[in-house]
Structure 1
Amino acid sequence: MGFLGDIGSFIMTPLYYVVSVVLVGWHELFGALFGEESGASWALSIVGLTLVIRAALIPLFVKQIKSSRNMQLLQPKVKELQKKYGHDRERLTQETMALYKDTGTNPFSSCLPLIVQMPIFLALFRLLDQAAKKGKGHGILSDDRAQLLANAKLFGGEISSTFLNADVTVVKVIAIVLVIAMTATTFLTQRQLMSKNMPDDALTGPYAQQQKLLLYILPLVFAVGGIAFPIGVLLYWTTSNLWTMGQQFYVIRNNPAPNTEAFRAKQKRDAAKGKVDAAAGTVTATVVEEERRPATRQQPKKQSRQQRRGSQSGQSGPKNPSPKSGSTDQGDTK
């Protein structure tokens, strides 16, 4: 038991330092705004811790999405192998693993972010649990600060309380709400992946069965175990699930797997956007062409011969009589 304890301490001690550094760093910020003993400062610090951890896990999430897509696209080939080597389980396993290796696909990578998060989740759980029961700190979280965390109140209840040990009804209500939120977000995240980003032929077979199993088993596990989690841990996990939902929605919407509902929806959006862009380009080209076109000269109106003579006479005006004709007239008068 001592040997196993030493191994556990060897694994958990670095995680305690990582979690406590981020948690204390956020608490320095929010504690200056809301007070060091405020439950709001500790709750926001846990949310900040969650965001930092999830941001650090983005490369793993991208790898998970790519591997999950490869698994979906490989399902027709896996079915062919099952038909060909279904009578020989050992040969089927060898051929399937060779297919995964050739395509660089890891069938377990879909669980990788969850597996990586579990030690961090456990470290946070132990951090809050030890602070609540013994006022003991870990990492750079001192005993005094751990006592502040244990006694910090959120909506009238201590942030380190669980549904099982809470004496205040409000705390039980908060815990139940967070357990339901954690369970619902876990289910919706997995459901979103299966309904939007899995082709029809991938909804059958062993991989689909694995996904369906995770769809119902994981929320059930969190629902049962959630009543023993401190409120701070429930807050961490619910925030993490919300991050996953938003991140997954963005990836599925903008980079869906081929032959899926999300892929067809993206094609429709791109087609509609292309029509709008084409229409806008046509209007722009027309406007530019009109601006470049030289102004047309206005043609004179057609006039009759009489109108032209009248206008010419009006423009020239009355003619002055010549002196010669004037002298002749005078002579005639005489």
Structure 2
Amino acid sequence: MWDWIVNILLEILKVIQGFAVDWGLSIIILVIIVRLLLTPLLLKSTKATARMQVLQPKLMELQERYADDPQRQAEELQKFYSENKFNPFGGCLPLFIQMPLLLALFTLLRDLPHYFPNHEGSFAFFDILPSLTTSPATAMADGFTAALPYIIALVLFSVLTLIPQLYMSRNQTGAQAQSMRTMGVVMTIMMLFVGWGLPAGVLLYYDVSTLWQVIQQIFVTQKIIDKAKAEEEERLANAPMEVNVVRRERKPRPHKKN
């Protein structure tokens, strides 16, 4: 199902490889292209996440108020989303776009000799990674020393997954922040197992892409979050106050008996 994405990546890599010469450098350039294309979506997603953090207490209040009436709760939440022009899934779009790219890249790099049958020599990243089609598990067959560059790429693959989670948890408080940190640690351990069998080219792509994300979070994303939070808090402060009026049931007056 990823064939058309694989073919697009293949054509892009052919063009890049025409002037980059090195395969690893071609992948790094591919990361930069993808990240630049995703930047507008990422910025929009960041603003949506910041708004969600500001609106979270109100959402929880609605959920608790109508906990015994799921239908009314769904109606009120939908009304709340509509009034605030808020999409609860708005922050997930960049992730949904990147996952097919990563899966397609895995397919491409796993069968790179098949896609480039006339290529002479190895698919290397300078003298750092001798083969981008080799996984850490496969490299271990030649001994720890030969596998060391691949293991370093694997460790980076794992650790760089944790850093964005820890950084994002700074914008949360209490149980939610602790939950994000715990999830980050669990994902880091999972990445060690997942990355063990991945081609080094995929690890390189993910390492550079996540490093870009970390730098972007420090210098760009946090400023956008702070600004979006301030704007949303100001909007809520200036919004008309909502008053819930509960009509009392009118009971018939008692009549005196004659």
Residues 157 and 171 of structure 1 are in contact (CA less than 8 Å); yes or no, is this contact kept in structure 2? no
1:155–1:171: 8 Å Cα contact kept in structure 2?
no
CA distance in 1, matches of 2:129, 2:37: 33
User: Would you say 1:68 and 2:49 are equivalent positions?
Assistant: yes
Deviation sequence 1:239-292 (CA, Å, 0-9, x none): 0001111112222443333698xx8xxxxxxxxxxxxxxxxxxxxxxxxxxxxx
Task: Please state how far the C-alpha of 1:114 moved relative to its aligned partner.
Answer: 1.8
Name which of 117, 124, 145 aligns with 1:143. Answer: 117
Indicate yes or no: 2:4 matched with 1:14.
yes
Specify which of 94, 98, 106 is matched with residue 113 of structure 1.
94
For the residue of structure 2 that corresponds to 1:257, the secondary structure is helix
Deviation at 1:225, TM superposition (A): 0.4
Is 2:160 aligned against 1:191? no
1:43 and 2:35 are equivalent in the alignment: no
Instruction: Give the Cα–Cα distance (whole angstroms) in 1 for the partners of residues 103 and 198 of structure 2.
Output: 10
Higher relative contact order (CA 8 A, sep 6+): 2
Partner of 1:165: 138
Correspondence 1:257-272 to 2 at 5 A = 257=226
C-alpha distance in 1, partners of 2:95/2:228?
27
Which sections of structure 1, spanning at least 5 residues, go unmatched? Answer: 1-7, 32-40, 264-334
The 3 A distance-change label for structure 1 pair 80 and 170 is same
- Seq. identity, %: 27
- What CA distance in whole angstroms lies between the structure 2 residues aligned with 1:126 and 1:156? 19
Distance in 1 (CA, whole Å) between partners of 2:88 and 2:31 is: 27
Match of 2:212 in 1: 243
Q: Would you say how many aligned residue pairs link Structure 1 and Structure 2? A: 228
Structure 2 contact 13–27 (Cα < 8 Å) conserved: yes
Are the aligned partners of 2:23 and 2:124 in contact in 1 as well (CA < 8 Å)?
A: no
Equivalent in the alignment of 1:83:
64
Q: Secondary structure at the match of 2:111?
A: helix
Cα distance, 1:150 vs structure 2: 4.5
Deviation at 1:216, TM superposition (A): 3.6
CA shift, 1:68, in A, is 0.3
* Local SS of the residue matching 1:229: coil
The residue type paired with residue 55 of structure 1 is: L
Q: Retained in 2: the 8 A contact 1:162–1:229?
A: yes
Aligned partner of 1:293 in structure 2 is none
Q: Deviations over 1:14-40 (max 9, x none)?
A: 212321222222211122xxxxxxxxx
Q: Output aligned runs, 1:1-334, within 5 Å.
A: 8=1, 12-31=2-21, 41-131=22-112, 135-137=113-115, 142-145=116-119, 148=121, 150=123, 154-155=127-128, 157-166=130-139, 167-168=141-142, 169-195=144-170, 197-198=171-172, 200=173, 203-204=174-175, 211=180, 214-257=183-226
How big is the shift at 1:151? 7.0
TM-score by length of 1: 0.61
CA contact (8 A) 1:128 1:150 kept: no
TM-score (norm 2): 0.77
Q: CA contact under 8 A between 1:183 and 1:222: conserved in structure 2? A: yes
The structure with the larger Rg is 1
Q: C-alpha separation between the residues in 2 aligned to 1:258 and 1:153? A: 42
Contact 1:42 1:149 in 2 (8 A): no
Moved over 6 A (4+): none
Give the counterpart letter for 2:18 in structure 1.
Answer: E
Alpha-carbon deviations, 1:74-114, whole Å to 9, x = none? 11211211331122334334422432333232323333212
CA distance in 1, matches of 2:83, 2:178: 23
